[in-house]
A and B are shown apart, each in its own frame.
Chain A
Amino acid sequence: EAQVTQNPRYLITVTGKKLTVTCSQNMNHEYMSWYRQDPGRGLRQIYYSMNVEVTDKGDVPEGYKVSRKEKRNFPLILESPSPNQTSLYFCASKGLAAGTNNEKLFFGSGTQLSVL
């Protein structure tokens, strides 16, 4: 089944303790991105990657790092998490939907992060 898988689903941590949220897609998509979703706001893009070893800042990159060493994986790294990074995070990949010429974003199920 074509999907985007992110782990963990829920994570509670403390300020300053490095963490990584993993994201993997099995659709051979070149484009992947990370979003955060906060109450009353739409999804805001953190970082995106157009292909392996190519990453760029989105709208809210401060406090985050990413890496894209291989096509299928795009981990999100918080070197020193802070309480304002408590949020719901979504990974997504973009590619052609089956049988169409349109690119579509496929989202993971989300990671709810709480930083105490």
Chain B
Amino acid sequence: GESVGLHLPTLSVQEGDNSIINCAYSNSASDYFIWYKQESGKGPQFIIDIRSNMDKRQGQRVTVLLNKTVKHLSLQIAATQPGDSAVYFCAEMDTGRRALTFGSGTRLQVQP
């Protein structure tokens, strides 16, 4: 049955450090991956995406790495700031089915 009160995995970092948030996905047919940031009381916000024909993509202060061999995705945040504190979700999509599946999330806490 469902568990009540499950706690999210939490990553605690110091302001200015780099953060790495990891995600394992399950569907070998997934060919599009997205990271979302969800701040308290808000809906998820798109951060960065990557297609399966790439293994790395960089944005502003963020980098997503994709390892299809082990079905692993990571989000790297450079020079983490207090405003980065949030829950981060990875999502995988099989674009043929247009179905998007979310991971369970990781809470990032940035200590000033």
Contact = CB atoms under 8 A, between A and B. Distances in A.
Interface string B56-99: 00000000000000000000000000000000010100000011
Contacts of A58: 99
B112 interface: no
A43 B102 contact: yes
A42 B43 contact: no
Nearest to A90: B43
B75 to A, nearest CB: 15
Interface of B: 2-8, 34, 36, 41-46, 49, 89, 91, 98-105
A75 interface: no
Query: Max chain B CB contacts within 10 Å: which of A43, A50, A107, A109?
Result: A43
Contact of B105 (A4, A42, A92): A42
Contact of A42 (B4, B7, B99, B103): B103
Contacts of A104: 34, 46, 49
A45 B100 contact: yes
B8 A40 contact: yes
B43 A109 contact: yes
